[in-house]
């Protein structure tokens, strides 16, 4: 498969703006048939936006797309599918109530006069499942909600392949997969490019990126930094391009021994439907990073500690005394805070002004009929103003509805919300997902500042650089268990090793956390 031929898909000077952020700024990339093209960059660098543009889910504000040399524009994802571009989105795009077959061929059911040909549908589905080597694992008429995360990921891939498209876009396809499933995928991708398909591929796992990709494009902060041949670059170079500086300067100083204080939170043998025998200690002044694959139980851990999906057995000790935490309110009462992963779904009240967002937890603890102070509490009437200064939210007015703020500023609001309720135990779940670099840096600063001020911080992150750079200790989860703990500065490999269930003799098993909890991730 030579590069002689012209690019099958090309983006020229694409710009896309969203309220508050320029997601992509004048980006130009060429994608060649028959090769894997990896797109890397930090969260918020604009990768997913680019993919959605290529797949017709968004339309660019400026710039053009070219398919096989001719200019095209999509007003509806369908149009992209029709020319032969299919995509696997980062967040799952399946209907849990419908069967595998119905999902894969949604909108393209084989039919005569509008009547679906069931047998044909089943046969085609079988065929597609075979292509991803999942025909034994997954039955075409199984309802998707009954499948494990990994299986659902395979269905997504099968769906994408079913278009027989010339370009396949994969947004973090391996995030949820255990190693041997990743191998299946790798083999699959090799087969595809052998047939001349162009595969565009987003991943945070540099091992994969360098195994698979021929070309690597680096995005940063919505800008196209560079496109390099994989064999002409080293991971560290790419990382440098991604973050724009050397990794080790990128994160704030770790805690000095004398900064770490008494145990603030301790979980002993905590278990519930999704978690098994969790034990961990969290000290005042330290940041404990939690790593693990999607579906490994990272978020469930946070939810259990915070009383959203409480532990059904085991004990929680706060500052040495045992406390039952069955509701978030109870947790907040114990001066805990939880900066959730999914801002839109769990963090903000989009239609409410900034000040009400920030004061929500404070007020939740007050008497229901207590008269409100608009911008603070009885003690600190100016609290909101102070916090907005402190976390540096860029907003025209503190009466602004938060739906009109950029992702980064929204995240700062969520953070301010917990600062307002003066927590001394703070849980962060993906604190910097989907926000641009400088906002990211300042949030990292804040988290560290909080720790130095004596707050005990539990930080869940799927971004290894973040975990490695921020954590004073690293806890790795797999299959609802804590599969190991690593000291500050542990390497990516060591973490991935634990995160994929090794050292725990679970080699064969597939992580199978089921149900909504994981679908939200």
Q: Look at phi and psi of residue 114 and say left if phi exceeds 0, alpha if psi is from -120 to 50, else beta.
A: left
Residue 22 sits in the site that holds another protein (CB under 8 A) = no
Query: Beta strands 287-292 and 9-18: pairing type?
Result: unpaired
The DSSP code for 479 is T
CB of 337 to another protein, least distance (A): 10
Of 60 and 347, CB closest to another protein: 347
* Cα–Cα distance for residue pair 219/210, rounded to 1 Å: 16
Residue 398 sits in the site that holds another protein (CB under 8 A) = no
Are 501 and 483 a contacting pair, CB within 8 Å? yes
| Span near another protein by CB under 8 A; candidates 35-43, 232-240, 259-267, 344-352 | 344-352
Q: CB-based contacts of 122: which residues, under 8 Å, 6+ apart?
A: 101, 140, 141
What is the token pair recorded at 281? 């200690």
| Span near another protein by CB under 8 A; candidates 103-111, 215-223, 234-242, 481-489 | 103-111
CB of 373 to another protein, least distance (A): 10
Residue 369 sits in the site that holds another protein (CB under 8 A) = yes
Residue 363 sits in the site that holds another protein (CB under 8 A) = yes
- Single out the residue of 471, 472, 521, 479 nearest to residue 502, CA to CA: 479
What is the token pair recorded at 267? 């979980």
What's the distance, CA 499 to chain centroid? 16
The DSSP code for 253 is P
Binders of another protein among residues 462 to 521 (CB under 8 A) are: 515
Binding-site size for another protein (CB under 8 A) equals 69
Residue 379 sits in the site that holds another protein (CB under 8 A) = no
What is the token pair recorded at 89? 């989105």
Are 48 and 204 a contacting pair, CB within 8 Å? no
Residue 378 sits in the site that holds another protein (CB under 8 A) = no
Residue 111 sits in the site that holds another protein (CB under 8 A) = yes
- Where does 399-463 have alpha helices with state H? 407-420, 437-452
Torsion sign (Cα): 168, 172, 177, 181: positive
| Of 12, 108, 276, 319, the one binding another protein by CB under 8 A | 108
| Of 319, 349, 390, 514, the one binding another protein by CB under 8 A | 349
Residue 399 sits in the site that holds another protein (CB under 8 A) = yes
CB of 228 to another protein, least distance (A): 31
Residue 376 sits in the site that holds another protein (CB under 8 A) = no
- Single out the residue of 334, 330, 333 nearest to residue 264, CA to CA: 334
Residue 3 sits in the site that holds another protein (CB under 8 A) = no
* Cα–Cα distance for residue pair 91/329, rounded to 1 Å: 29
Binders of another protein among residues 279 to 338 (CB under 8 A) are: 306, 308, 327-329, 331-333, 338
Binders of another protein among residues 403 to 462 (CB under 8 A) are: 403-406, 409, 417
Of 489 and 515, CB closest to another protein: 515
Binders of another protein among residues 83 to 102 (CB under 8 A) are: 89, 93-98, 102
What is the token pair recorded at 455? 């707050």
Which residues of the chain form contacts with another protein (CB under 8 A)?
A: 19-20, 57, 76-78, 81, 89, 93-98, 102, 106-109, 111, 114-116, 118, 306, 308, 327-329, 331-333, 338, 340, 345-352, 356, 359-361, 363-372, 394-397, 399-400, 403-406, 409, 417, 515
């Amino acid at each position: 498969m030579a590069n002689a031929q012209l690019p099958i898909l090309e983006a020229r000077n694409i710009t896309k703006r969203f309220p508050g952020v320029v997601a992509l700024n004048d980006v130009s990339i060429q994608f060649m048939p028959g090769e894997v093209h990896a797109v890397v960059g930090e969260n918020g660098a604009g990768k997913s936006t680019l993919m959605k543009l290529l797949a017709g889910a968004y339309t660019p504000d400026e710039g053009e797309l070219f398919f096989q040399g001719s200019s095209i524009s999509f007003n509806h994802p369908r149009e992209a599918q029709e020319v032969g571009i299919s995509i696997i989105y980062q967040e799952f795009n399946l209907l849990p109530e419908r069967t595998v077959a119905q999902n894969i061929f949604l909108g393209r059911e084989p039919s005569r006069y509008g009547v679906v040909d069931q047998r044909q549908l089943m046969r085609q589905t079988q065929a597609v499942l075979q292509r991803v080597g999942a025909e034994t694992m997954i039955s075409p008429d199984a309802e998707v909600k009954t499948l494990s995360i990994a299986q659902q990921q395979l269905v997504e891939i099968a769906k994408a392949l079913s278009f027989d498209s010339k370009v396949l876009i994969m947004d973090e396809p391996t995030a949820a997969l255990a190693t041997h499933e990743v191998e299946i995928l790798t083999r699959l991708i090799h087969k595809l490019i052998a047939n001349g398909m162009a595969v565009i591929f987003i991943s945070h796992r540099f091992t994969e990126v360098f195994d698979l990709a021929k070309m690597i494009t680096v995005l940063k902060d919505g800008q196209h930094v560079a496109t390099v041949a994989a064999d002409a670059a080293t991971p560290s170079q790419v990382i440098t391009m991604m973050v724009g500086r050397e990794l080790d300067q990128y994160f704030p100083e770790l805690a000095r021994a004398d900064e770490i204080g008494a145990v603030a939170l301790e979980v002993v043998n905590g278990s519930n439907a999704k978690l098994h025998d969790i034990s961990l200690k969290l000290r005042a002044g330290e940041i404990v990073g939690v790593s693990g694959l999607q579906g490994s139980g990272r978020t469930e851990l946070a939810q259990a500690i915070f009383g959203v999906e409480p532990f059904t057995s085991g004990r929680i000790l706060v500052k040495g005394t045992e406390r039952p935490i069955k509701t978030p309110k109870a947790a907040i009462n114990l001066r805990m805070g939880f900066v959730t992963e999914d801002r839109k779904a769990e963090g903000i009240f989009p239609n409410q002004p900034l000040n009400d967002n920030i004061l929500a937890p404070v007020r939740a603890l007050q008497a229901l009929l207590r008269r409100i102070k608009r911008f603070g509490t009885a003690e600190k009437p100016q609290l909101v103003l102070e916090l907005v200064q402190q976390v540096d939210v860029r907003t025209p007015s503190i009466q602004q509805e938060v739906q009109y703020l950029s992702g980064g500023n929204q995240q700062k609001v969520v953070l301010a919300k917990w600062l307002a309720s003066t927590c001394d135990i703070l849980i962060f779940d993906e604190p910097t997902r989907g926000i641009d670099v400088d906002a990211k840096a300042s949030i990292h600063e804040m988290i560290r500042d909080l720790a130095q001020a004596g707050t005990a911080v539990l930080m869940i992150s799927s971004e290894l650089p973040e975990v490695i750079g921020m954590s004073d200790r690293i806890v790795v989860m797999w299959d609802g268990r804590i599969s190991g703990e690593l000291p500050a500065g542990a390497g990516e490999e060591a973490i991935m090793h634990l995160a994929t269930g090794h050292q725990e003799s679970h080699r064969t098993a597939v992580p199978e956390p089921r149900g909504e909890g994981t679908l939200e991730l």
